[in-house]
Amino acid sequence: MIVPPTDATQRERRTRRATSGDANRAQTGFTLLEVLVAVAVLGLALVSLLGLHVRTLALVDRDQRVTEATFLARAVMTDAEIGPFPDLGVTSGDFEDRWPERYPDLRWEREVLPSPFPDVHEVRVRVSRGEEESGDDVSLVYYVRRR
């Protein structure tokens, strides 16, 4: 025998459906607090990455300056190698005569010292930016033999 549903039974079913639907909806979504925490973590990560990017750009710029100074020091050293046997002493200058206005802030200094071997001199070349020492300075040491 089939018993027709009463008003109380129908209300109970509706209440069960409503509460079970709310529970499903709460489990499938995110709360505002969860979203705010996720955004805060993402923001901190992006700020850290931006700081690393700025540091990388500064390192690339410094490396480019050191590479330029190394090539210029090698050019001064090549002059000592292929030119006449260098006299003892210190000479210095800039790169305006070879490359006008290209390296206005770079200076070179060449120091020629005696070595323990006859007919051999120690040549030290230093390329720097200005008078005081910086992290971009380059020094080369080479031994030149009289031909």
| CATH number of residue 64's parent domain | 3.30.1300.30
Tell me, yes or no, whether 80 lies in a domain: yes
The pLDDT of residue 27 = 65
Mean pLDDT confidence for 9-13: 69
Of 113, 115, 111, nearest to 127 (Cα)? Answer: 111
**Owning domain of residue 54:** 31-145
Q: Is residue 23 part of a domain?
A: no
Residue 9 falls within a domain, yes or no? Answer: no
pLDDT for residue 104: 87
pLDDT in tens, 29-80: 889 999 999 999 999 999 999 989 999 999 999 999 899 999 999 999 999 8
- Evaluate whether residue 100 is within a structural domain: yes
Q: Provide the CB-side half-sphere exposure for 95 (13 A, CA).
A: 22
Q: Is residue 99 part of a domain?
A: yes
Asked whether residue 70 is assigned to any structural domain, the reply reads: yes
pTM for the model stands at: 0.66
Span 105-146, pLDDT tens digits: 899 999 999 999 989 999 999 999 877 677 788 999 999 998
Q: Work out how many domains the chain is built from and give that number.
A: 1
Residue 121, domain member (yes or no): yes
Q: Which of 133, 128, 86, 122 is nearest to 109 (CA)?
A: 128
Task: Give the pLDDT band (50/70/90) at residue 8.
Answer: low
Give the pLDDT score at 135.
76
Residue with tokens 């002059």: 79
Give the mean pLDDT of 91-118.
91
Phi, psi at 13, each rounded to 5°:
-65, -45
Q: How confident is the model at residue 11 (pLDDT cuts 50, 70, 90)?
A: low
